[in-house]
């Protein structure tokens, strides 16, 4: 497989309390979101699926429009990235939402924190405060 034919991009990586205006709103994941729920819960509602995740779980939403409801105390690590072929075809199918327990060895968490640390050094100040939904 020739990975040079892939378009890869980290859109953002942040750890934060969910802003009040983003607790209950629509989501249109053109790129690939992945959230580690650090505190609280989230419920994603699609026309054909409802999925919940709680503290200590990763949630990777499927492709398509959804409504999300976070609890008022929600804190997440939010990653958004792009992984597709140069012809714009997605690298992998996203036909269902995945909920995964954060591994006990902390490997996924450590990688996410490293991405957050790196993105914090390169993301324009105020960027996330301007986003109404992620």
Segment 82-123, tens digit of pLDDT:
888 888 888 778 889 999 998 888 888 899 999 898 887 655
Tens of pLDDT along 19-74? 999 999 998 767 888 999 999 999 999 999 999 999 999 999 998 899 999 999 99
- Write down the pLDDT at residue 40: 98
Q: What pTM does this model have?
A: 0.82
Structure tokens at 126: 């105020």
The dihedral through the CA atoms of 22, 27, 30, 35 has a sign that is positive
Place 134 in a pLDDT band, splitting at 50, 70 and 90: very low
Burial tier of 81 (Cβ tally within 10 Å: 0-12, 13-18, 19+): middle
Q: Pick from 42, 37, 56, 34: which is nearest to 102 by CA?
A: 56
**In this structure, what DSSP letter does residue 48 have?**
T
CA–CA gap between residue 111 and residue 99 (Å, rounded): 18
Closest CA to 80 of 17, 125, 131: 131
């Amino acid at each position: 497989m020739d990975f040079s034919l892939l378009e890869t991009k980290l859109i953002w990586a942040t750890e934060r309390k969910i802003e009040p205006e983003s607790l209950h709103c629509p989501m249109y994941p053109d790129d690939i979101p992945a959230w580690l729920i650090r505190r609280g819960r989230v419920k994603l509602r699609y026309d054909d699926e409802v999925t919940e995740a709680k503290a200590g779980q990763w949630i990777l939403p499927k492709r398509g429009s959804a409504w999300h409801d976070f609890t008022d105390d929600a804190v997440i690590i939010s990653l958004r990235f792009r992984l597709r072929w140069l012809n714009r075809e997605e690298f992998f199918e996203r036909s269902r939402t995945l909920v995964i327990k954060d591994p006990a060895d902390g490997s996924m968490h450590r990688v996410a924190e490293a991405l957050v640390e790196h993105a914090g050094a390169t993301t324009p100040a105020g960027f996330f405060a301007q986003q109404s939904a992620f």
